[in-house]
Amino acid sequence: MTPRPASRVAPGESAAAPAGPALRVLIAEDNYLVREGTRRLLEDSGEVEVVAAVGDAVALLTAVRQLQPDAVITDIRMPPGHGTEGIEAARTIRRDYPDVGVIVLSQHSDAAYATELFRDGTEGLGYLLKMSIADLDELLAALRSVVAGRSVVDPVVVQRLVDQRVKQGASPLQALAPREREVLREMAEGRTNAAIAGQLHLSESAIEKNVNAIFTKLGLGAEQGVSRRVAAVLAYLRAVPD
């Protein structure tokens, strides 16, 4: 399975239709109305083929094995335990089927769930709040990002992760200037330098300087590729003790 090009859509922009065949997506959600609503939303876009829609974690893993989709969208809480089955399934899928991207949807902005999801790696994983599925462009952009091996985190969760670390006296994030923290949040949402420049109304060269400063202060200077930036930032945030 060959990953497709992906990019995070900045606010105010439209998600461009990708070249090539539609993304093959599997949905796992125990609420019938949410499951079928998500299916209809994606299929009506003309960019996604929903290969299956299931209601529990066991059926999810079975369907992934049988259908080998490009991406999975799964609820965080599902039968049988209504705990964190979605996160456990996502990590299993990424381990056993590394070409399959996974987006976990949650009603909770608790950063602990995101930390658990990314515990063993960040590539090809996304953590979004359920309210995000109402924005089709954002959902499609997130799907393309995880299929390409990138990471996506809901902005609300990113805010909580960063603020949580800043409050810790020993956190190196204390060394970041306010503007650098803003850029870090945008980076963790998957935006390119150009998209961050548009979002913050700064020049692209100014953003590049801030990015380089962030990498230097956080000891991430070796991670220069755009596709690795989110993984590097989240790996750092995850590694700082609570």
pLDDT digits over 123-160, tens only?
Answer: 889 989 888 778 888 899 899 989 998 888 887 777 66
Say if residue 149 is in the same domain as residue 162. no
Residue 19 lies in a domain: no
Q: Are residues 142 and 161 in the same domain?
A: no
Domain count, the chain: 2
Specify whether the CB–CB gap between 59 and 85 falls below 8 A.
no
Q: Taking the model in full, what pTM does it have? A: 0.68
The pLDDT score that the predictor gives to residue 193 is: 87
CA angle 21, 151, 201 (to 5 degrees): 100
- 75 is written with which tokens? 């609820």
pLDDT tens per residue across span 4-47: 333 333 333 334 444 567 899 999 999 999 899 999 999 999 99
- Return the DSSP state at 53: E
Q: Is residue 122 part of a domain?
A: yes
At 120, which CATH number? Answer: 3.40.50.2300
142 and 65, same domain (yes or no): yes
**Of 40, 80, 46, the residue nearest 60 (C-alpha):** 80
Q: Last residue of a domain, which of 136, 153, 170?
A: 153
pLDDT band of residue 227 (cuts 50, 70, 90) is very low
* Inside any domain, residue 223: yes
Dig out the tokens for 112 from the structure.
């602990």
Sheet holding 152-153, edge to edge: 48-54, 23-28, 71-75, 101-106, 125-129, 152-153
Question: Nearest to residue 186, comparing CAs of 208, 168, 169?
Answer: 208
Q: Which of 104, 121, 153 is the last residue of a domain?
A: 153
